[in-house]
Chain A
Amino acid sequence: MTGLKKPRVLVIGADGADPAVLQRLMGAGELPNLARLRAQGVYAPLIPTFPPVSPVVLTSFLTGVSPVRHGVRDFVTKASGAYRPTLGMFDVTAGDHGLPVYRSRRRTLTLGQILTAAGRRSFTLRVPGDFPPVPVNGGVLAGLGMPDLVGSFGTSALYTTEPGAPRFARVRARSQIKPLRPAADGCLHGSLEGPARTNSSLTCRIVGDRLHVVASLDDPTPLAILSLGQWSDWLCASFTLADGMGVKGIYRLKFVRRVGETVDLYCTPIQCAPSAPLYPLSSPPGLASHLADALGLFATLGLPADQNGLQQNLISPETFLEAADHAWDEQAAIVRHLLLHNEWDLFIAHYFSIDNAQHMFWRAMDADHPGHETAEAGRFGDEIARAYRWVDRQVGELLSLLGDDVTVIVASDHGGGPIYRWFYLNAWLRKEGYLHASPARKGQARVDWARTRACGFGTGGIFLNVRHRDLQGLVAPGDEYEALRDKLAARLSAIVDPKTGGRVVKAVLRAEEVYPGARSGEVPDLLLALSPGYGLGRGEALGRVSSRPFLEANHTWWSGGHEGPYLPQEIPGVLLMAGPGIPPGGHLDAPRITDVAPTILHLLGVDVPSHMEGRVLL
């Protein structure tokens, strides 16, 4: 059989790519490469999991099983046996040096692991929820989940000589406004925050109309010279833990404002250095270092776009976009490098650009959105389309690098849509008497668990406070529990939005429908699916109780999304496949995300494990 090429599959993950937006942009001729792919192969909307959030859906993509089997069930959930929110993607325990250790909740094999066992080679880059990376024949680069150096999903900072200035009144993340203190030496001194409450110095000096960032007073050679509005390259910071262990971090600075002697300097989240990451960044561990040697330093944070900074008015939308574009281009360079310089059977490259734009700029595109403003629409109304065009360009470039012997799959984990109105579930539960809370403090209230029968945590989850199961449980298991679930489901389903006249809640699902076989208390007792256009109020996932009205127009930057949560069939992603093994113009019968993994194995000629729930689509 020599001379016959082994089948290969390239998967391009376009996080958040929505069938309706894709169709519209294809129709307008804006996505020529995706349109060509579609013409040469097959296309269908792709049904995600519930809840339709990236780490959950994409773990189903990587494993071919549903969330109840793979174990990654939400971004955030309620801690089992305690009244507090906890991360749903992975577990955190204490490790050496006072640092956390992260362990995936995923408990089924990934495509990369299955292919390794079959003697095949794969690369999986930046897939959300794929953290920490597991050993495979080939490589893995961690996706959303990979923290920054302080162990967060992204904590940026604004350094300023005027931390108390009125212009920061709208900034909600006050702790992220850091002082830059002028000193007698003529320098401005700030402090970079590292892991385990360590710090490193940030020293800069105004020279003419530029800002010089220097390593120390003893070494006058600038690390960066910035004009107003200019970004630095990646800079390095060193931190020393209490036991003497050294830690390297990387960050970029933007010189954002200067009036006289007043200076503002934006600093990205300080991230793990690829050469010696504090947290597991790649598999094999040397892969990230190799990439940095070959291509230069790169963003290692799982979600490198500073969505928090924009939401909290720490940065302007322009700064947000500049940082995000830089990160996407770095990722594209990494993909091209690994694709060209390695042997592989399966290559998975995941891009976050579309989802990022849809979350933050839907209001600029959609004139019906409550947050829509004409001036802003003129500046940012094209951002979502630009993100689709960027992905289309990546598809075109990758196809041009490969021969026609490669089967290409473009897939998204879910679509995207507007969030016109917020629904504050816990405020509603409180209003209806299911939840009791202490008086409001700065807009929030503390749950009184001794009197509370139900509280929301996670993406639409409702946990009942059950006797013998929860610390201060009130609801008796059995008939009382079932009666409460029935009543809640009926009353939630009946909520009508007086503003629109429509139903807010599309469906109320029971735990056993979504998570059959799961242990009581480990998953929500009920799960909400909202009607299109509604989103769960901010902070609700953390079990907070807002004192706002339970329905409210959305004027925030977070103006679009998929995490409503909505029923999977109402927020589908997309699936395009073309190349060897794919009949052009063929029909796909309502494909689900769990079908993709078995289909890939089939295309590669590898046996589909019997535990996979999905079917081969061809």
Chain B
Amino acid sequence: MPDRKAKYTTISIPRELYRRVEDIIQDTGFRSSTEYIVYLVRQAVVAIEADRQLIYSLPYTISSTDEEQGEP
């Protein structure tokens, strides 16, 4: 069971991919693979959230019926 109060949680990625990440972050300023992966995920989340903010507010797609708004 994940500890929902903890600030961090653990996710799994293939070990082979993790090693490749370790290689490519050499001399980039990132202190660990984890730091780099968190950075990438943050970038992706900001972009997808911004994309969703737009598509779910487009007048052509907004529901005028009684169905629920937002992402299904």
Listed in ascending order, the chain A residues whose CB lies under 8 Å from chain B are: 53, 75-76, 84-87, 92-94, 98-100, 147, 150-155, 172-173, 303, 307-308, 311-312, 359, 441-446, 459, 538-539, 541-542, 544-546, 548, 556-558, 563
Chain B neighbourhood of A93, CB < 8 A? 43, 47
B56 adjacent to chain A (CB < 8 Å): yes
What total of A-B pairs shows CB separation below 8 Å? 111
Q: Answer whether A153 and B57 are a contact pair too, CB < 8 Å, given A444-B72, A446-B72.
A: yes
Which of B6-14, B15-23, B24-32, B60-68 contacts its partner? B60-68
Asked whether, in the complex, the Cβ of B67 is within 8 Å of the Cβ of A443, the reply is yes
Q: Once the chains are docked, how many angstroms separate the CA of A207 from the CA of B39?
A: 51
Chain B neighbourhood of A545, CB < 8 A? 72
Asked whether, in the complex, the Cβ of B61 is within 8 Å of the Cβ of A539, the reply is yes
Q: Which of B45-60 contact A (CB under 8 A)?
A: 46-48, 50-51, 53-60
Distance (whole angstroms) from the CB of B25 to the closest CB of chain A: 18
Listed in ascending order, the chain B residues whose CB lies under 8 Å from chain A are: 42-44, 46-48, 50-51, 53-69, 71-72
Closest B residue to A85 by beta carbon equals B55
Distance (whole angstroms) from the CB of B66 to the closest CB of chain A: 7
Closest A residue to B45 by beta carbon equals A94
User: 11 more A-B contacts (CB under 8 A) besides A87-B54, A99-B46, A541-B61?
Assistant: A53-B60, A94-B43, A94-B50, A152-B56, A152-B57, A154-B59, A359-B59, A445-B72, A538-B65, A544-B72, A558-B59
Chain A neighbourhood of B54, CB < 8 A? 87, 92, 147, 151-153
Chain B neighbourhood of A86, CB < 8 A? 51, 55
Q: Once the chains are docked, how many angstroms separate the CA of A75 from the CA of B51?
A: 12
Q: Once the chains are docked, how many angstroms separate the CA of A604 from the CA of B50?
A: 40
Q: Answer whether A92 and B51 are a contact pair too, CB < 8 Å, given A445-B72, A545-B72.
A: yes
Distance (whole angstroms) from the CB of A356 to the closest CB of chain B: 9
Query: Which listed residue, A84, A85, A173, A541, touches B69 by the CB 8 Å rule?
Result: A173
Asked whether, in the complex, the Cβ of A154 is within 8 Å of the Cβ of B51, the reply is no
Q: Once the chains are docked, how many angstroms separate the CA of A445 from the CA of B48?
A: 21
Chain B neighbourhood of A548, CB < 8 A? 65, 67
Distance (whole angstroms) from the CB of B49 to the closest CB of chain A: 8
Chain A neighbourhood of B51, CB < 8 A? 86-87, 92
Distance (whole angstroms) from the CB of A92 to the closest CB of chain B: 5
Of A542, A557, A563, most B-chain CB atoms within 10 Å: A542
Closest A residue to B59 by beta carbon equals A307
Asked whether, in the complex, the Cβ of A563 is within 8 Å of the Cβ of B50, the reply is no
Asked whether, in the complex, the Cβ of B61 is within 8 Å of the Cβ of A76, the reply is yes
Asked whether, in the complex, the Cβ of A542 is within 8 Å of the Cβ of B56, the reply is yes
Query: Which listed residue, B47, B59, B72, touches A153 by the CB 8 Å rule?
Result: B59
Q: Once the chains are docked, how many angstroms separate the CA of A99 from the CA of B49?
A: 10
Closest B residue to A445 by beta carbon equals B72
Chain B neighbourhood of A85, CB < 8 A? 55
Q: Answer whether A538 and B47 are a contact pair too, CB < 8 Å, given A147-B54, A155-B57, A445-B72.
A: no
Closest A residue to B68 by beta carbon equals A442
Chain A neighbourhood of B63, CB < 8 A? 172, 538-539
Closest B residue to A170 by beta carbon equals B66
Q: Once the chains are docked, how many angstroms separate the CA of A556 from the CA of B50?
A: 28
Distance (whole angstroms) from the CB of B59 to the closest CB of chain A: 4
Q: Once the chains are docked, how many angstroms separate the CA of A359 from the CA of B58?
A: 13
Distance (whole angstroms) from the CB of B8 to the closest CB of chain A: 20
Q: Once the chains are docked, how many angstroms separate the CA of A93 from the CA of B56?
A: 17
Asked whether, in the complex, the Cβ of B66 is within 8 Å of the Cβ of A443, the reply is yes
Asked whether, in the complex, the Cβ of A153 is within 8 Å of the Cβ of B58, the reply is yes
Asked whether, in the complex, the Cβ of B46 is within 8 Å of the Cβ of A98, the reply is yes
Query: Which listed residue, A87, A154, A444, A538, touches B64 by the CB 8 Å rule?
Result: A538
Asked whether, in the complex, the Cβ of A538 is within 8 Å of the Cβ of B62, the reply is yes
Distance (whole angstroms) from the CB of B50 to the closest CB of chain A: 3
Q: Once the chains are docked, how many angstroms separate the CA of A442 from the CA of B68?
A: 6
